[in-house]
Structure 1
Amino acid sequence: MCRDGHCEHHADPLTPDAVGDHEPGAAVGRRRLLTVGLGGAAALTLPPASFAQAADDFSGAAPPAGREVTRTITGFLETGAVDFVHLPVEVPPGVQKIAVSYSYDKPAVPPGTPGNSCDIGVFDERGIALGSRGFRGWSGGFRSSFEISNSDATPGYLPGPVNPGTWHVVLGPYQVAPQGMHYRVQTTLTYGESGPAHVNHYPPQRAEGRGRDWYRGDCHLHTVHSDGKRLPGEVAAGARAAGLDFIVSTDHNTPASHGVWGEYAGPDLLIVPGEEVTTRNGHWLALGLPPGEWIDWRYRSRDDVFKRFARQVRRGGGLVVPAHMYCAYVASQWKFGFDDADATEVWTGPWTYDDEHAVSTWDQKLGEAVRTGTRWLPAMGNSDAHSDPQVIGLPHNVVRADGLATDAIMEGIRAGHSWIAESASVTLDFTATGNGGQAGIGETLKVPADAPVDVRLDVRGVPHGTVRVITDEGQMHQESLDASGTGTVMWRTTASLASYVRAEVRHPMADGSPGQGNTMGEALLFGPMAALTNPVFLTATTASHS
């Protein structure tokens, strides 16, 4: 029953003839659930929770400033039902703030069986359609409550007016136990004047830089605006301590942090807006977004809409980068293919077998690109750091760019003029020279087919490291560094033998050995990665003569 401004709304959205019941005084009575398509993932919309009675209690006038009115919705979800549940909230005029809290049960499940996990976010009166401008925030499963007003918002949410109309609280039950999930959502509206508008402080698109040079940057980082525990200021401080020149902010599914980074950028640190887009079939990085731009994630591979959002990112000058493609977490494995990608993340955080597998897949794609004459996919490495003790800048990208500016850095990554380092203590230079010409990382050297090509790697910072020189034929040369970690490795080939050449620098194996030079061993054949280059391509200009 309704009393003291509180009303409960019960619904079972997975029963075919389920209905939603508002107690007396609610504006909407019994109604069948509406199943909607977003143009993407399957979703359900419940009957709306109305706050109209609150205004009626005051003879049609808005309730007095500070008055709070609450509605509560409870419901049940069966396993394997839908990706998203929309809970409409009818917001009347005169509302200053909307506050939402939620909870759900977590029954015990057998070992190996997913338990209940449910995300939450909200859309305003502008709608919930795929890519809608109505997006107002997302916190995933990291928070149990949030607030939005014109002046302020909980991290992960966008401040702005609480306009009248139909808002939607969105639940994302990405894991539901065999017993199902009982949920409870409480929405409170506070009446009053809207207050001063929030002022965003976006970061500048250019830092001081060193002109055309190599710049170090971590392009996959999280803050308290999604599921990270670091404040933006702590992330910026960590980037500076790691010797980075730039970072990309990639909080999950929200641009909320974009408007605070201006305070922490500076002549020595470029901060680039971005987003980690976490779909149900893999995560991807939208790098170099226009400040404040949001990219939708509510779709699966089978919905065939990923390319729409990839185009949106590129229209704004950004890059589309599949992230941690073999991550073992639910919904994290990459299922969208690479046709709409600009680069791919092959090394995420401390080196693991997932990264080994990702590098192998990327190398296979390089061979396919050479064979078919199609665009090749540059490799990236990022920390995906969320909180201590995860290390910002382990690993990061070293990008050759015309300056320390967003567009220049994005272009350097897009062109593959980059290599990956575990830390700023590792440096390298990698070139191929032949027939009077020279090419560096991401470039093409054109030479007669049988002309000798000298491949050179200068490296520093990997004591007792192992250098591997790899072509489309596989590993062709291996050499060890001494205790100083500094050395020069030379190897000769021809364009008739190698269509591309790339280099890896590995730490010793756990037993101190350099690793095996073939693929006949067990488990990992080499120690953890210290550095990884994008390829230099070799193109034959004339046919070989006997």
Structure 2
Amino acid sequence: MAGAGTLAPVAFAEAAEGQAETKVLTGRFEPGTADFVYLPVEVPAGVSQLSVVYSYDKPAVPSGTPGNSCDIGIFDNRGTALGGDGFRGWSGGFRDRFSISRTEATPGYLPGDITPGIWHIVLGPYTIAPQGLNYRVEVTLTHGPAGAPYRPNYPSERTRTRGRQWYRGDCHLHTVHSDGKRLPSEVAAGAREAGLDFITSTDHNTSSSHGVWGEFAGDDLLIMLGEEVTTRNGHWLALGVRPGQFVDWRYRSRDGELPEYQRAVHRSGGLCVAAHPYCPWVGCNFKFGYTGFDAVEVWNGPWTWDDDAAVSEWDNTLVESVRGKGSWLPAMGNSDAHNPGQTIGLPQTVVLADALTRDAILDGIKAGRSWIAESAGVDLSLAATGPRGQAAGIGDRLAVAAGDKVAVRLDVSGVPNGTVRLITDEGQVFQQSLPASGSGSVSWLTTPAVSAYVRAEVRHPLADGSAGAPALSAGLNFGAMAAMTNPIFLDRV
């Protein structure tokens, strides 16, 4: 476990039904405090609700110096062990209070019995100002009958099949169950409005939203369950996990714990995806490497410089996979939408799958049979054809003789005045502009001897209206991405 500490316990006595008792703890964290500090709370029998309110000071700091930021969550009497069963909720720094009862809980937290024993409030001092961080935690236990049990409504893992086709989806979305401002109902409505066929719920470090999605799924919208595993050394997406599955996040790269949680996701049939690897915020830049991951999110939200960096690094991994003749890491794009001003489905991953089901969509993502679009208004196809009619599509391998001519064709629509780029292990090898209509086709010839793979990008014009070009310059070489594909590999036989 990442650095952790434990404070002295707070004890409560048994009380009469209807009585509430509150205790307050104050303390101080100095710079260099452990990542997680646990406050034990001795919970007696007969408690129907546990409530917590916390606060901390935020002294002024010089520009460029992190100020105070402290997260919060809770584990029940089953303990705080990594990967254990004790997790009961997390709100990070998004809320200053929460409550849990058998019937309901604050979003981010899991309803259920307030079982007697030692619970642990977990404080996570994310950043600490040079002056230190003074905190106050107020714990209230209310005694009384437990109430009716919570009944989760999980979404189906299948829809009425539409057969093998391209399905559009967004696999990185947040709700009020973490730091988002949309209700699950609003996320589902936004996905339908964006023309999506599937989404994945990925709230930070909690599975609390899993039990509400069943109401909003349907044959027109597959809703898969997940989590954005938010560590101090980067974020990753656990996609398509089983209902209620919790994936632990209390470790850093140096701790060596990540593979255990990757295996847990894989055992459940899910996928592990490295998220926004070049995000510049504290704790977001991805430090784990890509071993054990099934895909990498190279495009996160509206196109920015960090997406360009992620695509460049990902392209290097493709070359490495060719040299080693090993597995390769498919690319994904997701919106990471949190708030009403952020567009669900910008971008979206378009997956070739045998059916609109959890297993089929995840299989397509893992195989790299996918491409990324900024919206449902953009469409494309990429194919490679050998001299005897052998054909391969996105994510496939075309095996032909080293000197055989391979015809590559890209058809695209929805990108007015866009720039088509074909990229191989040598870099950009072809460029052509699209007309004002946004639709066009390009063809290009190569051989496996000179091209280990080929992939396509479609870019918007630069701000001055120009198409862009590979260059060593202070400015951007190309405009924002409109669409990009996973590669077609050209294998020499």
Q: What TM-score do the two structures reach when normalised by structure 2? A: 0.99
SS of 1:356's partner is helix
Aligned positions of 1:105-124 closer than 5 A: 105-124=57-76
In 2, are the aligned partners of 1:209 and 1:268 still within 8 Å (CA)? no
Verify: 1:43 aligned to 2:4, yes or no.
Answer: yes
Verify: 1:528 aligned to 2:480, yes or no.
Answer: yes
SS of 2:246's partner is coil
SS of 1:41's partner is coil
SS of 2:209's partner is helix
**Shift, 1:207, TM fit:** 1.5
**Shift, 1:64, TM fit:** 2.5
2:131 counterpart residue number: 179
Distance in 2, matches of 1:266 and 1:153, equals 26
Q: Deviations over 1:513-541 (max 9, x none)?
A: 0001x232333200000000000000111
Verify: 1:453 aligned to 2:401, yes or no.
Answer: no
Q: Deviations over 1:484-534 (max 9, x none)?
A: 000001000001010000000000000000001x23233320000000000
2:154 counterpart residue number: 202
Aligned positions of 1:296-315 closer than 5 A: 296-315=248-267
- Aligned match for 1:130, one of 77, 82, 100: 82
1:3 counterpart residue number: none
**Shift, 1:340, TM fit:** 1.1
**Shift, 1:66, TM fit:** 1.6
1:353 counterpart residue number: 305
Distance in 1, matches of 2:248 and 2:210, equals 16
1:498 counterpart residue number: 451
- Aligned match for 1:213, one of 145, 162, 165: 165
Verify: 1:253 aligned to 2:214, yes or no.
Answer: no
2:370 counterpart residue number: 418
1:36 counterpart residue number: none
- Aligned match for 1:371, one of 306, 323, 340: 323
1:483 counterpart residue number: 436
Aligned positions of 1:234-245 closer than 5 A: 234-245=186-197
1:472 counterpart residue number: 425
Q: What TM-score do the two structures reach when normalised by structure 1? A: 0.90
**Shift, 1:78, TM fit:** 0.2
Verify: 1:169 aligned to 2:121, yes or no.
Answer: yes
1:157 counterpart residue number: 109
Distance in 1, matches of 2:214 and 2:418, equals 40
Verify: 1:87 aligned to 2:87, yes or no.
Answer: no
In 2, are the aligned partners of 1:127 and 1:167 still within 8 Å (CA)? yes
SS of 2:491's partner is strand
Equivalenced residue count is 492
In 2, are the aligned partners of 1:380 and 1:420 still within 8 Å (CA)? yes
- Aligned match for 1:64, one of 16, 37, 50: 16
Distance in 1, matches of 2:327 and 2:290, equals 11
Distance in 1, matches of 2:250 and 2:402, equals 49
SS of 1:419's partner is strand
5+ unaligned residues in a row in structure 2: which ranges?
Answer: none
Distance in 2, matches of 1:66 and 1:288, equals 42
In 2, are the aligned partners of 1:504 and 1:532 still within 8 Å (CA)? yes
Verify: 1:331 aligned to 2:283, yes or no.
Answer: yes
Aligned positions of 1:254-269 closer than 5 A: 254-269=206-221
Distance in 2, matches of 1:51 and 1:137, equals 21
Report the residue type matching 2:36 in the other structure: F
Report the residue type matching 2:452 in the other structure: S
Distance in 2, matches of 1:330 and 1:470, equals 33
Distance in 2, matches of 1:132 and 1:252, equals 18
SS of 1:256's partner is coil
Distance in 1, matches of 2:177 and 2:475, equals 38
2:460 counterpart residue number: 507
Verify: 1:397 aligned to 2:349, yes or no.
Answer: yes
Distance in 2, matches of 1:523 and 1:238, equals 35
1:60 counterpart residue number: none
Verify: 1:442 aligned to 2:403, yes or no.
Answer: no
Q: Deviations over 1:190-218 (max 9, x none)?
A: 00111110000000001224211100000
Percent of aligned positions that are identical: 64
1:383 counterpart residue number: 335
Report the residue type matching 1:418 in the other structure: S
**Shift, 1:132, TM fit:** 1.4
Q: Deviations over 1:372-423 (max 9, x none)?
A: 1111000000000000211000001000001000010000000000000000
Report the residue type matching 1:283 in the other structure: H
Q: Deviations over 1:269-319 (max 9, x none)?
A: 000000000000000000000010000000000000101100100000111
Report the residue type matching 1:235 in the other structure: V
Distance in 2, matches of 1:443 and 1:66, equals 65
**Shift, 1:140, TM fit:** 0.5
Distance in 1, matches of 2:46 and 2:211, equals 26
Report the residue type matching 1:268 in the other structure: D
Verify: 1:97 aligned to 2:58, yes or no.
Answer: no
Distance in 2, matches of 1:328 and 1:449, equals 42
5+ unaligned residues in a row in structure 1: which ranges?
Answer: 1-39, 56-62, 542-546
Report the residue type matching 1:133 in the other structure: D
**Shift, 1:130, TM fit:** 0.5
- Aligned match for 2:182, one of 230, 240, 264: 230
SS of 2:321's partner is helix
In 2, are the aligned partners of 1:426 and 1:460 still within 8 Å (CA)? yes
Report the residue type matching 1:452 in the other structure: K
Distance in 1, matches of 2:457 and 2:330, equals 15
Distance in 2, matches of 1:279 and 1:209, equals 37
SS of 2:261's partner is helix
Distance in 1, matches of 2:453 and 2:281, equals 34
Distance in 1, matches of 2:160 and 2:348, equals 20
Verify: 1:463 aligned to 2:424, yes or no.
Answer: no
**Shift, 1:126, TM fit:** 0.2
Distance in 2, matches of 1:207 and 1:107, equals 52
* RMSD of Structure 2 on Structure 1 (CA): 0.6
